[in-house]
Amino acid sequence: MAEDAEANGLDQDRTQIDTTVPQSARIYDYWLGGKDNFAPDRAVAEALAAQIPTIRTMVRSQRVFLVRAVDYLVRKAGIRQFLDIGTGIPSLDNVHEVAQRIAPECRILYVDNDPIVLAHARALMTSTEEGRTAFILSDLRQPQAILDNPVLRETLDLDRPVALFLVGVLHHLHDSDDPRGLIATLLQALPSGSYFALTQPTADFDASAMGGMAATAEQSGIPYVPRGRAEVEEFLSGLTVVEPGLVPIPAWNPLDLDYPGSAEVDRDPYSVYGWAAVARKP
């Protein structure tokens, strides 16, 4: 048993919980109205909200995008496998819930670097009988470790298309982490016909608000890098971006999916300072 635990990275990560240090997953949980957060997380979340008062709407729209993208990929692209990196604390409508509601046989591997997220996900994000959900504690900055984890092969068949989700996570990577290289490494392991869904906060719509946001986050020890349209396009290079293209997060709705919480931003997608896209690997 001890060997399994080590293989899953559990034992060496036991010491990593520190609720006195703000953590991005718990900050998002707070903005989404959850209660799995601690005083230091809330303090940072409030400081960030002072920079961008509409932050809760932005975070919600990121979740709405996730739901719409999963829905689209299962319904229209025949995708049945998902690799979701940067899962966060389970919220309403996680990838497997949306996917398995449409196709119960869907298989989802969740990856997060926060042990609390892992504990919650393992306990609460249970799969249908027909499908599978699995979880690994790993960091997007070590894509090869994710790919080499035996749980990945147990969960996903890499001979069949997989949808890679990097939603609400790329901005926590500094350029020095080489996000382009990480994305390339991950996509290289996936077969032709796979998909890639991303969101990326940007300073393109309101440079000063987003600048304040990034500075405040970095001061609190949370990496936060807004990126311009051209940089996001680079993340998508070599892929075929599906309609409606690279658009403000709330504007990505090819199936006109009604989803609660989106009406307020549907009127003005640029009120959410982030880009979203779904692309296909040729």
Partner 1 sequence: MLLGAHLRRLREAQGVSREDAGWEIRASESKISRMELGRVSFKERDVEDLLTLYGLVDNEERERLLSLARQANTPGWWHRYGDVLPNWFQSYLGLEAAASMIRTYEVQFVPGLLQTADYARAVVLLGHGRARPEEIDRRVDLRMRRQSILDRPDVVQLWAVIDEAVLRRPVGSRAAMRGQIEALIDATGSKSVHLQVLPFRVGGHSAAGGAFSILRFPDQELPDIVYVEQLSSALYLDKRDDVELYVDAMERLCVEADPPERAADTLRKILKDI
Q: Between 115 and 261, name the residue whose CB sits nearer to partner 1.
A: 115
CB atoms within 10 A of CB 238: 10
DSSP state of 109: E
Q: Between 148 and 154, name the residue whose CB sits nearer to partner 1.
A: 154
Residues that bind partner 1 (CB under 8 A): 1-2, 4-5, 8, 10, 13-14, 17, 19, 33, 35-36, 38-39, 115-116, 118-120, 122-124, 126
Q: Between 154 and 175, name the residue whose CB sits nearer to partner 1.
A: 154
Q: Between 14 and 267, name the residue whose CB sits nearer to partner 1.
A: 14
The least CB distance from residue 117 to partner 1, in Å, is: 10
The least CB distance from residue 33 to partner 1, in Å, is: 6
| Rounded distance between C-alpha atoms, residue 22 and residue 247, angstroms | 30
| Rounded distance between C-alpha atoms, residue 144 and residue 20, angstroms | 30
The packing angle between helices 39-51 and 24-31, to 10°, is 70
Longest Cα–Cα distance of the chain, Å, equals: 54
CB atoms within 10 A of CB 18: 11
For residue 155, give the nearest of 63, 84, 92 by alpha carbon: 84
Structural contact between residues 73 and 102, judged by C-beta atoms closer than 8 angstroms? no
The least CB distance from residue 78 to partner 1, in Å, is: 28
Q: Between 25 and 99, name the residue whose CB sits nearer to partner 1.
A: 25
DSSP state of 11: G
The least CB distance from residue 278 to partner 1, in Å, is: 31
The least CB distance from residue 170 to partner 1, in Å, is: 26
The least CB distance from residue 155 to partner 1, in Å, is: 12
Structural contact between residues 252 and 276, judged by C-beta atoms closer than 8 angstroms? yes
The least CB distance from residue 214 to partner 1, in Å, is: 28
Q: Between 115 and 254, name the residue whose CB sits nearer to partner 1.
A: 115
Residue 192 one-letter amino acid: S
Q: Between 33 and 244, name the residue whose CB sits nearer to partner 1.
A: 33
DSSP state of 81: E
| Rounded distance between C-alpha atoms, residue 146 and residue 137, angstroms | 9
The packing angle between helices 55-76 and 95-102, to 10°, is 30
